[in-house]
Amino acid sequence: LYASAVIMLVFLLGIPWVFDFVARYYEGMKLESEVQNSIMTRYFYYQLINVYVTVGFSGNNLWSQLITILERPQTFIDVVGGKLPDVSLFFCSLLIVKICAAIPLEMIRPWQLSTIHLMGSCMDRRTTTRRDLRTGAFYSWPMLYGWIYPQLMMVLMVMTAYAVISPLLMP
């Protein structure tokens, strides 16, 4: 049941690395805030397109639905209203996996936590200076806003989309 959501989330975890590389080395952005903003925008739109188009509209007949919408734009609401309830189980499992696993792991930042714990246990507490505690492994790691905020925005977007269909998803 949760396997499809987990597989998609694992795939989506590698995408920010690509966007980071493009922003830094192809576009040549120098400021970290510009890089994070670029990653955040692209990652959110990529998640939006990936989740809603490939899963939400059942990617196999996407072309026929798009032609129907282009021929008669008033059918957009009918197409979306007919497809969203069909994939509600997937979106519920996506929310459960993101809320219970992906977002807490991003907030805990286990790699940084384990590095600090390992370095703290290896240091001699009598000879450690304040400078040692502020540099190296103890340096405050930057928060990667371009990686974390799009996941939160995606959860909020799915929750608001399904709030009408299933009000129990709303807190």
Give me the pLDDT at residue 27, please.
Answer: 93
Residue ranges of the alpha helices (H) in the chain? 3-21, 32-48, 62-71, 76-83, 88-97, 103-108, 110-122, 130-134, 145-162
What are 165's two structure tokens? 């269909």
Q: Which of 159, 165, 167 is nearest to 51 (CA)?
A: 159
pTM: 0.69
pLDDT tens string, the chain, 171 residues long: the values are 567 767 777 787 889 999 999 999 999 999 999 999 999 999 999 888 887 776 656 555 667 777 877 888 888 777 777 776 677 777 777 778 778 877 788 778 787 778 777 877 777 777 777 777 677 666 677 777 888 888 888 888 877 877 776 666 565
What are 5's two structure tokens? 């959501």
Give me the pLDDT at residue 68, please.
Answer: 79
What are 11's two structure tokens? 């795939």
End-to-end CA distance of the chain: 23
Give the C-alpha separation, 143 to 135, whole Å: 17
What are 81's two structure tokens? 């209203």
Give me the pLDDT at residue 7, please.
Answer: 79
Q: What is the DSSP letter of 31?
A: S
What are 116's two structure tokens? 């600090």
Give me the pLDDT at residue 29, please.
Answer: 93
Give me the pLDDT at residue 38, please.
Answer: 93
